[in-house]
Amino acid sequence: MTIGDVNLAELALVVVVSYLIGAIPTGYIAGRVLKGIDIRDYGSGNIGATNVLRTLGRGPFLAVLVADALKGYVPVLAVWYIFESHDLQVASGISAVIGPHFPVYIVFRGGRGVATSFGVFAALAMPLGVALVAVGIFIVLALRYMSVMSMVTVPLGALVLFILAVVPGGDVYTWTKVIFGAFATAIVFLTHIPNIKRLIRGTEPKIGEGGEPRAEAMRQKAT
């Protein structure tokens, strides 16, 4: 059965496999392997690379960052080589980004999927992915806020995809990719609402800060 040019069996396969790859909890695994801890009990409570940096250090941070990006890059690129479908690529990207937010392997309590979004952007348009990494590094070095970097780079990637879709002579298939950009932008702002509030109050931890045990987790373990 098909809807338009999309085969529903292929769509279901792409969505499930991409989600399962995206849901691999690399930050959680790093915490367990390196320190025998549940990283969700520390810092922000997320399993993403930023909290890994706060809790485990730079080496694990870089490893988790690359691994999380690959969780978006590999399935989206593989879908293109297997099916040669932009629609399925976008479905793969959205599913891969949902994975880190709701990882089935650790009872759906995960991270924010920003690095995975970067990987998807790179698979959809490699020059864009490289440019976003460069912008992200500049923001982190200049401001030392990972949350600001996330809330600038992901919408910027979405904006570039939109511009590529509307410019005369642009790639018509980019309109499909704009859907991913809009989804990733919505997710990044929704998941960063607490960060926005802390930025306004001036209490947002800078990069490397705030890796202490979470008080709530410690209370639960004491009871």
pLDDT at position 28 = 96
When divided into structural domains, the chain yields a total of 1
The larger pLDDT score, comparing residue 166 to residue 186, is at: 186
Judge whether residue 221 has pLDDT over 60.
Answer: no
Residue 141 domain boundaries: 2-222
What pLDDT, in 10s, does the model give residues 184-204? 999 999 999 999 999 999 999
- Rounded CA-CA distance 136/156 in Å is 10
